[in-house]
């Protein structure tokens, strides 16, 4: 029953979600919305689980003096200060929004801005024209990039009387081969998702329950 | 009261501008609903640039008639209508020609009138025919999806049944999945841990389910080789499921003692906070093998490039098409789209799961065939192709 229960539940809820998509019946819509509300409630409780895991992880790290264990004090102190600020001064004003706007947001922005450098290093590696495919990627990438910047619109000319515009080439690369490949991937993804959902609803796939054999 | 209303109506009709044709309104049952709405459509009585807005008025069938069709004062107009038993159902902008009136009862007949607001003038349409909302049990706009879903489920069940009877089902080689054994072996040889990131999404995302399925197989391999497995999580539910899956996988290979709950841990819900923590983990622990499976967003490149800098062998898999180029350029192997969903099946080789995968392949072949067929039809007989497009809309 320990494993049968979740399988039956997954089947029942899965079928409910499937049926509600095909019928306008009020019962199914209400059930769907209620389940979505429950999900939010459950999510709220699971954060207790997450916070406990975080505290435990850093407590063990400090206790066993693992590498850079001192930083765990910063994490735990940050957690405690944020929670206390929200509990004492509430979340609308006081230190809580200040911490969010002046500590968390700048740190997140810093991480996000690192992407520019990572894109540069990844592009360098991807564009090294060592193989036919890499050369093709380099040419396509250069054409698209030039076609997307203001100077690209000035870089046009004619070969054998045929007018060639970098913007038009860039648009063609994006709208024809690129869009075709993306759609191909998305069709595969859609089928894969559906197949996985069916496997879960029918109880064929049970790895998410811990069954691995 | 009646005398007051009559006097007010008379006063309203004085100094009227030239006569205008009232709007033609049509009321129909809203398709694909549970009998709780009607759709009102109309043709504008004036050129759109001379209309300020519309008001849709509703009443039960048998309401007192309002004979006057043109008014000059909005507050008096509203008073007249309300006195006569009409309710303002909604307001629309000047360029609208449709209004869906919801929260109605399927047991009541309704009539409608449309008020067109023009400068210094309100034109009231004729009363619509009484109509009762009807209940539909099937959303006909999803008929094509229903047919495709039934056919697909039938194909899955058929192939699963064939697999159950022992039929041999061929699956093409997927390099990224073939490399898992090698990647786990490498981590064992180097005496370093394996890092497995099951994406950033919650458990209701199918990509996360697929990532957890692959985690089960990777954990089994890690258990067999006796290699430490680190699984940082962004979602607490995913963390709980991942802990259970890793525990069961280690037990399945006879190494339950290898499971340490602090190795499958929660980090933070913040997207870039998570990226920073995992990047830091990679720099400190120097895992020999990194797995990035599931749904990723902008942090994908931060993770993959940091892993690349540490010299780890990296296997990624995602259905997020925008992140695929980043993984392809920074990882050794990348599972593209559907390959992520095939991962667990490919590794476990369970006949029942293989059946579902085979059905997926056939469905894809049918879609490819249909796409080629429609393209050819557009070239040869575009009118028939257009008819098909409209039918499957």
Tell whether the model's pLDDT for residue A125 goes beyond 90: no
Q: Which among B137, B265, B284 has CB closest to A53?
A: B265
Last residue of a domain, one of A61, A89, A117: A89
Compute the radius of gyration of chain A from its Cα atoms: 27
CB within 8 Å: A22 and B139? yes
Tell whether the model's pLDDT for residue B61 goes beyond 50: yes
> Based on the structure, what is the number of domains in chain A?
2
Tell whether the model's pLDDT for residue B1 goes beyond 60: no
Q: Buried b / exposed e across A27-41, counting CB within 10 Å, b at 16+?
A: ebeebeeeeeeeeee
Evaluate whether A207 touches B344 at the Cβ level (below 8 Å): yes
Please tell me the distance from the alpha carbon of residue B211 to that of residue A5, in angstroms, as a whole number: 23
Mean pLDDT for B240-249 is 93
What is the predicted pLDDT for the residue at B357? Answer: 86
Mean pLDDT for B73-97 is 90
Do A84 and A151 reside in the same domain of the chain? no
What is the predicted pLDDT for the residue at A81? Answer: 95
Phi and psi at B335, nearest 5°, equal -90, 120
Smallest Cα–Cα separation from B246: which of B264, B265, B234, B267? Answer: B264
What's the mean per-residue pLDDT of chain A?
Answer: 89
What is the predicted pLDDT for the residue at B179? Answer: 92
* Number of Cβ atoms within 10 Å of the Cβ of B247: 18
CB within 8 Å: A49 and B236? yes
Tell whether the model's pLDDT for residue A48 goes beyond 80: yes
Q: What Å distances lie between residue A111 and A106, A107, A117, B273, B286, CA to CA?
A: 9, 6, 11, 8, 20
Quick one: pLDDT band at residue B356, thresholds 50, 70, 90? confident
For the stretch A145-158, pLDDT in tens is 999 888 888 877 77
Tell whether the model's pLDDT for residue B378 goes beyond 70: yes
Tell whether the model's pLDDT for residue B93 goes beyond 80: yes
Tell whether the model's pLDDT for residue B299 goes beyond 90: yes
Q: Which among A57, A194, A196 has CB closest to B210?
A: A196
Last residue of a domain, one of A89, A116, A135: A89
What is the predicted pLDDT for the residue at B11? Answer: 41
Mean pLDDT for A91-96 is 90
The CATH topology of domain B2-124 is: Immunoglobulin-like (2.60.40)
Full 3-state SS string of chain B: CHHHHHHHHHHHCCCCCCCCCCCEEEEEECCCCECCCEEEEEECCCCHHHCCEEEEEEEECCCCCCCCCEECCHHHHHHHHHHCCCEEEEEEECCCCEEEECCCCCCCCEEEEEEEEECCEEEECCCCCCECCCECCCCHHHHHHHHHHHHHHHHHHHHHHHHHCCCCCCCCCCHHHHHHHHHHHHHHHHCCCEEEECCCCCCCCHHHHHHHHHHHHHHHHHHHHCCCEEEEECCHHHHHHHHHHHHHHHHHCCCHHHCCHHHEEECCCCHHHHHHHHHHHHHHHCCCEEEEECCCCCCHHHHHHHHHHCCCEEEEEECCCCCHHHHHHHCCEEEECHHHHHHHHHHHCCHHHHHHHHHHHHHHHHHHHHHHHHHHHHHHCHHHHHHHHHHHC
> Higher model confidence: residue A185 or residue B350?
A185
What's the mean per-residue pLDDT of chain B?
Answer: 89
The CATH topology of domain B169-349 is: Rossmann fold (3.40.50)
CB within 8 Å: B244 and A210? yes
Quick one: pLDDT band at residue B76, thresholds 50, 70, 90? confident
Quick one: pLDDT band at residue A213, thresholds 50, 70, 90? low
Do A142 and A208 reside in the same domain of the chain? yes
Q: Domain segments of chain B: what residues? A: 2-124, 169-349
Q: Is the ipTM of this complex over 0.90?
A: no
Please tell me the distance from the alpha carbon of residue B345 to that of residue B335, in angstroms, as a whole number: 14
Q: A194: which chain B residues are within 8 Å (Cβ-Cβ)?
A: 149, 152
CB within 8 Å: B348 and A115? no
Quick one: pLDDT band at residue A21, thresholds 50, 70, 90? very high
Tell whether the model's pLDDT for residue B13 goes beyond 70: no
Q: Which among A46, A112, A192 has CB closest to B236?
A: A46
For the stretch B104-127, pLDDT in tens is 999 999 999 999 999 888 999 989
Q: Which residue has the tokens 């667990």?
A: B344
Please tell me the distance from the alpha carbon of residue B362 to that of residue B358, in angstroms, as a whole number: 6
Smallest Cα–Cα separation from A143: which of A120, A119, A172, A114? Answer: A172
Q: What Å distances lie between residue B308 and A119, A159, B233, B305, B327, CA to CA?
A: 13, 43, 20, 5, 10
- Domain hosting A80: range is 1-89
Quick one: pLDDT band at residue B367, thresholds 50, 70, 90? confident
Quick one: pLDDT band at residue B20, thresholds 50, 70, 90? low
Do A148 and A75 reside in the same domain of the chain? no
Last residue of a domain, one of A72, A89, A106: A89
Q: Which two tokens stand for residue B350?
A: 């369970």
A87 touching B (Cβ < 8 Å): no
CB within 8 Å: A107 and B273? yes
Tell whether the model's pLDDT for residue B234 goes beyond 60: yes
Quick one: pLDDT band at residue B15, thresholds 50, 70, 90? very low
> Higher model confidence: residue B84 or residue B69?
B84
CB within 8 Å: B156 and A198? yes
Q: Has residue A148 been placed in a domain?
A: yes
What is the predicted pLDDT for the residue at A212? Answer: 64
Mean pLDDT for B144-172 is 87
Q: B160: which chain A residues are within 8 Å (Cβ-Cβ)?
A: 202, 204
Mean pLDDT for B373-389 is 90
What is the predicted pLDDT for the residue at B393? Answer: 61
């Amino acid at each position: 029953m320990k494993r049968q229960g979740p399988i039956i539940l997954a089947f029942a809820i899965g079928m409910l979600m499937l049926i509600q998509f095909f019928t306008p019946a009020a019962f199914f819509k209400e059930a769907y919305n209620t389940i979505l509300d429950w999900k939010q409630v459950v999510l709220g409780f699971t954060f207790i689980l997450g916070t406990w895991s975080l505290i435990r992880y850093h407590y063990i790290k400090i206790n066993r003096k693992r590498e850079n264990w001192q930083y765990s004090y910063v994490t735990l102190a940050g957690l405690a200060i944020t929670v206390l600020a929200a509990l004492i001064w509430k979340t609308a004003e006081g230190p809580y929004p200040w911490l969010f706007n002046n500590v968390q947001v700048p740190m997140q922005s810093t991480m996000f801005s690192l992407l520019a450098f990572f894109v540069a290093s990844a592009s360098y590696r991807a564009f090294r024209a060592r193989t036919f495919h890499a050369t093709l990627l380099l040419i396509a990438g250069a054409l698209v990039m030039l076609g997307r910047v203001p100077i690209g619109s000035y870089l046009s000319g004619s070969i054998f009387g045929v007018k060639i515009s970098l913007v038009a080439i860039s648009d063609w690369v994006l709208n024809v081969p690129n869009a075709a490949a993306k759609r191909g991937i998305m069709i595969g993804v859609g089928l894969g998702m559906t197949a996985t959902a069916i496997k879960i609803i029918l109880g064929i796939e049970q790895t998410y329950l811990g069954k691995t054999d | 009261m009646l005398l007051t209303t009559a006097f007010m109506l008379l006063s309203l009709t004085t100094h009227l501008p030239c006569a205008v044709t009232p709007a033609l309104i049509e009321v129909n049952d809203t398709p694909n609903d549970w009998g709780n709405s009607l759709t009102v459509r109309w043709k504008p009585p004036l050129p759109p640039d001379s209309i300020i807005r519309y008001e849709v008025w509703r009443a039960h069938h048998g309401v007192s008639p309002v004979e006057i069709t043109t008014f000059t004062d909005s507050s008096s107009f509203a008073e007249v209508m309300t006195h006569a038993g009409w309710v303002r159902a909604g307001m629309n902008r000047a360029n609208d020609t449709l209004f869906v009136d919801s929260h109605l009862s399927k047991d009541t007949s309704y009539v409608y009138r449309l008020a067109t607001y023009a400068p210094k003038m309100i034109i009231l349409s004729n009363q619509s025919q009484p109509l009762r909302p009807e209940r539909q049990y099937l959303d006909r706009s999803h008929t094509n999806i229903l047919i495709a879903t039934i056919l697909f489920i039938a194909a899955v069940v058929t192939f699963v049944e064939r697999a159950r009877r022992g039929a041999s089902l061929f699956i093409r080689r997927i390099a990224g999945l073939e490399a898992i054994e090698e990647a786990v072996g490498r981590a064992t040889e180097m005496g370093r841990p394996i890092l497995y990131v099951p994406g950033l999404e919650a458990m209701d995302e199918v990509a996360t389910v697929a990532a957890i399925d692959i985690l089960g197989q990777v954990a089994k391999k890690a258990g067999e080789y006796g290699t430490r497995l680190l699984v940082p999580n962004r979602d607490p539910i995913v963390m709980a499921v991942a802990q259970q899956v890793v525990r069961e996988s280690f037990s399945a290979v006879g190494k339950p003692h290898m499971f340490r709950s602090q190795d499958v841990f929660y980090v933070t819900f913040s997207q870039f906070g998570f990226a920073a923590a995992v990047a830091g983990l990679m720099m400190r622990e120097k895992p020999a093998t990194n797995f990035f499976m599931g749904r990723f967003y902008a942090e994908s490149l931060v993770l993959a490039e940091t892993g690349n800098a540490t010299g780890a062998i990296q296997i990624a898999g995602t259905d997020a098409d925008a992140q695929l180029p980043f993984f392809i350029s920074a990882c050794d192997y990348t599972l593209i789209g559907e390959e992520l969903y095939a991962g667990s099946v490919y590794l476990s080789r369970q006949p029942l799961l293989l059946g579902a995968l085979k059905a997926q392949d056939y469905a894809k072949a049918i879609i490819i065939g249909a796409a080629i067929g429609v393209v050819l039809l557009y070239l040869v007989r575009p009118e028939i192709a257009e008819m098909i497009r409209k039918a499957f809309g």
